[in-house]
Structure 1
Amino acid sequence: MKIPKPIKRGLTYRIQLQIAGKKFSCTRDTARECEQWAVQKILESKIHKKEAEKGIKPTVTFKELIEQYFQHTGQYNPSASSRKWMQGQIKVFDEKFGFLSGTSIYDITPRQLTNWRNKRSKEVGANTVLKEISFYSAVFTFAQKELFLLDENPWMMITKPKKPKARARRIHNSEIDLMLKALKYERGQTPVLPDHYVAWGFLFAIETAMRRGEILAMEKKDIYDDYVYLPKTKNGDPRNVPLSKEAKALLELIQHKGEKLIPQSENAFRLMWEKRKAAIGLSGLHFHDTRHEAITRMVRVKKLPVEVLAKITGHKKIDILINTYYNPNAQDLVEAFNEI
């Protein structure tokens, strides 16, 4: 079989193969690495074909399957956050799965996966377990329907944890004041210290409903008179977020010369937030609660229709926006009713 010529894509090279009617591709730093990958892939296909003819199943461990899935799917995923999450799963895979990591995918049973689910449920919350089960199930479906290595997916034969009730946490003004005091920040102050930028991000999130990662990724070049442009978001699509008078005032407080508005890493920002809120007894407050608070305020104060609100917040599913993030209290509903 003739090796196709790698195609240059920016700073990398990409090569595509078609073996037995199936397409394979990879991206590497050099053309030579692409060609080496292609040769290895062709050799593997020939070996697998001979083994299949003899009734011998190829040896593929759980860990090897995960890595192959990421190579095939992860590098082309449009969402950088999804790629990063998958890389994180691979990094801690041996620790998370123990002996199952090196077990052949043909030998992994629903009972073993159920035992893993029970153990994992004692370590993390139900939402995390559900997300991980969904990911690993997709990996085995890839082996079943794309690689034709498996006849059935053992992850489909286990019971999933019950999805917990959606969080509906609002943020009281007194809690905002407590957090600002803990972060040594006063409204209208130009941020200078790391604490200040965390406080500034907290206030900006309440005004815009932007996620923490989106705020930390903001660059000055994407700030316009009346809106901020977000080229990268959680769902992979860019969006524009209109700026309130209060949000504009917060942006005017940023005086440093750097490109990013908040000159901190996501980890440093998160640790500072967690440390300060714990010190004042607000451990139950999550930064993401600002999104609930902001969305509820937008409906109550701005009277925004749901279709406009969805464009601002980036929600593709209206039911999630309404049932999860819009959290009015009884008085909010009474006022809205009387206004109508």
Structure 2
Amino acid sequence: MKLPKPIQRGSSWRITVSFENKRYSATRDSAKECEHWALSKLAELKNGKISEEKGIKAAYPFRDLCNKYYQEHGRHMRSARTILFKIKNLDRIAPNLADKSIYDFKPADIAEWRNQRKKEVKVATLRNEHGIYSAVFTYAMKELFLLESNVWQSVTMPSKSKPRNQRITPEDQEQLLQAFGWDGTKSPEKTRDYVAWSFLFAMETAMRQSEILAMRRADLKDGFVHLPFTKNGESRNVPLSKEAKRLLALLPGKDALVPIDKSKCCATWTRVKNKADLPHINFHDSRHEAITRMVKDKGLPVEVLAKITGHKTIGMLVNTYYNPDAQDLVDMFNKTES
């Protein structure tokens, strides 16, 4: 086959080859490099065609499939940031799988990866990574029709660890505010002020950090905040307590109520909680604490509470996020007898 001539465009050269009625192009620094690329590309395409006719599938590296999954599907998901991180760090997370062809994956490969990863990260992290990579294979199976089954689903993952039940005491809250250097009465100005404000607002509303950061002034209604997009994919309305309304009144009249991104919020939170000597407290613990207080102080029935928090599964709400201590249970029990 006669090669087409490279075409010069400015300081670079471009060449286009055709195979099976499809066009492939590349830009290189010189005409000679274009010709080398064209020869190599045509050989690759011909070999792939021959292999396909013989029933041999051309190699498809897991890395390439992950990138395609993110570009066509993952980047549109609410968890896009996490998905991208797990894909970008594939060489560190799964070094023996990154360049392996998806057609060559065996259950033993996944099990070997699981056993090694268990030594490096927590079970929750391992399960999260397994879920993302399994979703990539499901995409290849149901959307690209490259696979007939998902090998990741044939390997057992460690059971979930015991649900977190960390409470935030009034003393912890005061200690954190002192470390933030914000007393909760002035309009927030600096990043750390807004993170402190977000923490207090979460304690009043049980809203997730991402939901608070995404709030817009147009979302504020009479007595509640409307969340158009949430983790479970549905909107919900969160009633506002007197304290929540007071906190909202402190914010400047801008559209973005909390003008910081998630990365800056997380970094600031980690730095300040360590400064407060409370490294064991996570921002998400505010959701646990808020839900527990709503039951204790307001006596909300579980079906109403689920509407406020956005939980579709009552079991998750009760067994994971409602964390009463023994005295809370005694007090509630005694109320029923009075």
Partner residue in 1 for 2:184: 187
Q: State the Cα distance separating 1:156 from its structure 2 match.
A: 3.0
Partner residue in 1 for 2:89: 92
1:206-217 residue pairs with structure 2 within 5 A? 206-217=203-214
Partner residue in 2 for 1:199: 196
- Name stretches of at least 5 consecutive residues in structure 1 with no aligned partner: 1-37, 42-46
Partner residue in 1 for 2:34: none
The structure with the larger Rg is 2
Q: Normalising to structure 1: TM-score of the pair?
A: 0.79
CA distance in structure 1 between the partners assigned to 2:292 and 2:268 by the alignment: 26
1:248-267 residue pairs with structure 2 within 5 A? 248-254=245-251, 256-267=252-263
Partner residue in 1 for 2:326: 330
- Considering only aligned residues, what root-mean-square deviation do their CA atoms show, in Å? 2.6
- The AA in structure 2 aligned to 1:317 is T
CA distance in structure 2 between the partners assigned to 1:150 and 1:239 by the alignment: 38
User: Kindly tell me: are residues 237 and 49 of structure 1, through their superposed partners in 2, closer, same or farther at Cα, counting changes over 3 Å?
Assistant: farther
Q: State the Cα distance separating 1:183 from its structure 2 match.
A: 0.6
- Name stretches of at least 5 consecutive residues in structure 2 with no aligned partner: 1-20, 25-46
1:272-291 residue pairs with structure 2 within 5 A? 272-291=268-287
Partner SS, residue 104 of structure 2: coil
Q: Mean alpha-carbon deviation: is it higher for 309-318 or for 112-121?
A: 112-121
Partner residue in 2 for 1:22: none
Q: Is 2:63 aligned against 1:66? A: no
CA distance in structure 2 between the partners assigned to 1:39 and 1:209 by the alignment: 54
CA distance in structure 2 between the partners assigned to 1:48 and 1:239 by the alignment: 51
Partner residue in 1 for 2:146: 149
The CA deviation string for residues 249-271 of structure 1, in whole angstroms up to 9 with x for no partner, is 111111x3432122222111111
Partner residue in 2 for 1:108: 105
> How many correspondences in the alignment?
297
CA distance in structure 2 between the partners assigned to 1:307 and 1:161 by the alignment: 31
CA distance in structure 2 between the partners assigned to 1:169 and 1:268 by the alignment: 24
1:1-340 residue pairs with structure 2 within 5 A? 51-74=51-74, 79=77, 81-254=78-251, 256-340=252-336
- The AA in structure 2 aligned to 1:227 is F
CA distance in structure 2 between the partners assigned to 1:215 and 1:199 by the alignment: 12
- The AA in structure 2 aligned to 1:54 is K
- The AA in structure 2 aligned to 1:127 is A
User: Kindly tell me: are residues 50 and 71 of structure 1, through their superposed partners in 2, closer, same or farther at Cα, counting changes over 3 Å?
Assistant: farther
CA distance in structure 1 between the partners assigned to 2:22 and 2:323 by the alignment: 57
CA distance in structure 2 between the partners assigned to 1:187 and 1:221 by the alignment: 23
Q: State the Cα distance separating 1:277 from its structure 2 match.
A: 0.9
Q: State the Cα distance separating 1:123 from its structure 2 match.
A: 2.9
Q: State the Cα distance separating 1:40 from its structure 2 match.
A: 7.5
Q: State the Cα distance separating 1:276 from its structure 2 match.
A: 1.1
User: Kindly tell me: are residues 90 and 40 of structure 1, through their superposed partners in 2, closer, same or farther at Cα, counting changes over 3 Å?
Assistant: farther
The CA deviation string for residues 59-115 of structure 1, in whole angstroms up to 9 with x for no partner, is 21111222333345335x5x4x22333223222223322242111112223333223
Partner SS, residue 246 of structure 2: helix
